[in-house]
Amino acid sequence: MNNFISFGTFHNIVLSVVPSSVNWIMGVSYTYVCEKNLGKNLLQLAGILLLAAGCQKAPHAEYTIEQFMKTSSVRGSSFSPNESEILFSSDSTGIYNAYTKPIGGGKSTALTQNTENSVFTISFFPNDKRILYRGDQGGNELWHIYLRQTDGTVTDLTPGEKERALFGGWALDEKSFFYISNKRDEKYMDVYEMNIESLRPKLLYRNDDALNYGGVSGDKHYIAFSKTYTRDNSDIYLYNLKSRSLKLITDHTGDISYSPAEFSIDSKSLYYFTDEGSEFRYLMQYNIEKDEHKLFQKEEWDISYIYFSHTGKYQVIGINQDAQTVIKVTDTSNGDEVELPQLPAGAVSSVRISKSETLMSFYHGSAKSTSDLYTYKIGSPRYTRLTKTMNPEVNPAYLADAEVIRYKSFDGMEIPAVYYKPPHANKNEKVPGLIWVHGGPGGQSRVGYRALIQYLANHGYAVLAVNNRGSSGYGKTFQTLDDQAHGKGDLDDCVAAKDFLISTGVVDENKIGIIGGSYGGYMVMAALAFRPEAFKVGVNIFGVTNWVRTLKSIPPWWEASRLSLYKELGDPETQEEYLYSISPLYHADKITKPVIVLQGANDPRVLQVESDEMVAAVRANGVTAEYLIFDDEGHGFRKKKNQIEGHEAVLKFLDNYLKKGP
């Protein structure tokens, strides 16, 4: 559900040492730092440091968008069969391609050289160096699965013109893999098995019930599915491939969520998520033969995923703890938690364990540094950093720390948020502020490196990424608070966030704007239309503006979630009047503040016509509405050239209409 329209420090003076020579070469701007209440010793220390820097000002470098975009993004990891290499995707050339690198470090080898469509790696084959990867066409989300042979030959394994196919895991016997595809009917994702020698698919399950795929057991006897009624109400089914029967295993009443997580290695159990009797998701274990359920693991926050290594020796779970992922690796033979290597400040994510169960790969990053890929020999104190994605020209000292905070909303409710304060902001030289709204609905702003946020913070904008009511990660009650009430309490949470920015003492209360993408883009336009005096400007990145059209034009392959979307947002066939009432397009005459809109022409979730009409309506008021359309992008901009153009346009717009003022 959260994939829909996903549409996915602080007040003290910081005295920095002299920046690196490369930063001096790039050019450094300075901000005076002066506080009357600084102690004598601190003033003396400040004077020494300032003199060492060669002037009586605290240094601060503002980086160009090109410098920010020299930073790369890497994702995915798969060990080669002999565990000598690791496979991943990187956008170092400006677009994602497939690479390998020795696990001990060294030079990367490019396996693909695509220039039009991104390559997202899936895996090495279990016993040879062929690879699978996925890609779409210009961001249209019609994913295909591709095979790259060791000689570089590439074959589209799912070549249907309107086909959407997603990888569903390797068979435990390593002779095939599973995938889901809508090639038979655009609405329904059937389950297939493909033999890795013949490369011929076999239909395992004809999914006319619009079930959500949850995995195949190692013995190939069962397929796990979930059935979504609403976001808060779902069931789990087991399909017996031998008897061809479908069994409901979570018969219940009321709003309880159930979803399959993972089969046990011996295929005797299914682990699944539920929130029965709890605000947060926890793990249960279902014994298939005995038809028995028991509690497996519970935490104080949502458990996001569980994963077992090849023989089940290690268990990995991820916990969504207050907008940050916490990883726990357990040795299942004794129940002991495996210690991860000691790393700098930040978070570990995406842990994978090699087939031999002696090596681990993971990503590590922070709000001020991009995620890098690491390998680690389990039990050893040493680790290897395989990638260095951050542009060395960008000094993290001039980026913003992320601080998780709470603020009171209009009705006294505490709202979580992530605060990014420009390191050079101070009470004597206040900066503009931005309220950042995540996608969704039901998404979450999380701690991590965000290029656009850091670019804006580096150029003097304080950013508060709010998790307004309706956001995930804070309990199921909190997430339901905006159901069929969008543009109301959730929007007022965003307006109330201004008070927190003002309370910091470093933000100019007369220069606060709102920015967001997808559902966050909707909130931007809703703010400008329904709270026209709240914000000075808006930045709308492919946001929904006409809910009737959006809900009537959802991609056909979302059939399994359609009714759930209607439950949360409204049924376009029976609730048109309500949906028109919350659609900014039909209230555009009230918009008086400048806005910039960014849109991908191939977006299957928020059609380009939404932004076309919104821009025209704002301009009809005589109000500034800048507009950028990217012909080769969909819902989210993957190509660096487009990110550069888009981010730079946003900063220029904000400098002109927020920082300088009207």
Confidence at residue 219, expressed as pLDDT on a 0 to 100 scale: 97
Confidence at residue 27, expressed as pLDDT on a 0 to 100 scale: 29
Tokens at residue 456, please?
């804006």
Q: What global pTM score does this model have?
A: 0.90
Overall CATH class of domain 393-659: alpha beta
Q: How far apart are CA 114 and CA 250, in angstroms?
A: 45
Tokens at residue 326, please?
């916490």
Cβ neighbours of residue 546 under 8 Å, at least 6 residues apart?
583, 585, 586, 610, 613
Burial 109-134 (b: 16+ CB within 10 A, else e): eebbeeeebbbbbbbbbbeebbbbbb
Q: How far apart are CA 533 and CA 524, in angstroms?
A: 13
Indicate the domain borders of the chain: 393-659
Confidence at residue 21, expressed as pLDDT on a 0 to 100 scale: 28
Work out the widest C-alpha separation in the chain, in whole angstroms.
82
Contact 252, 235 (CB under 8 A): yes
Divide the 662 residues of the chain into consecutive groups of 10 and give the mean pLDDT of each group. 34 28 29 36 41 50 94 96 98 97 96 96 98 97 98 97 97 97 97 97 97 98 96 96 98 96 98 98 98 98 97 97 96 93 88 97 95 94 94 95 97 98 92 96 94 97 98 96 94 98 97 97 98 98 97 92 92 96 98 98 96 98 98 95 97 97 70
Q: How far apart are CA 581 and CA 585, in angstroms?
A: 10
What's the angle, vertex CA 343, arms to CA 338 and CA 345, rounded to 5?
Answer: 120
Confidence at residue 342, expressed as pLDDT on a 0 to 100 scale: 84
DSSP string across 205-231: E--TT-PEEEEE-TTSSEEEEEEEEET
Residue 349 CB neighbours (<10 A): 16
Closest by alpha carbon to 418, among 385, 450, 460? Answer: 450
Q: How far apart are CA 168 and CA 548, in angstroms?
A: 33
Q: How far apart are CA 183 and CA 158, in angstroms?
A: 8
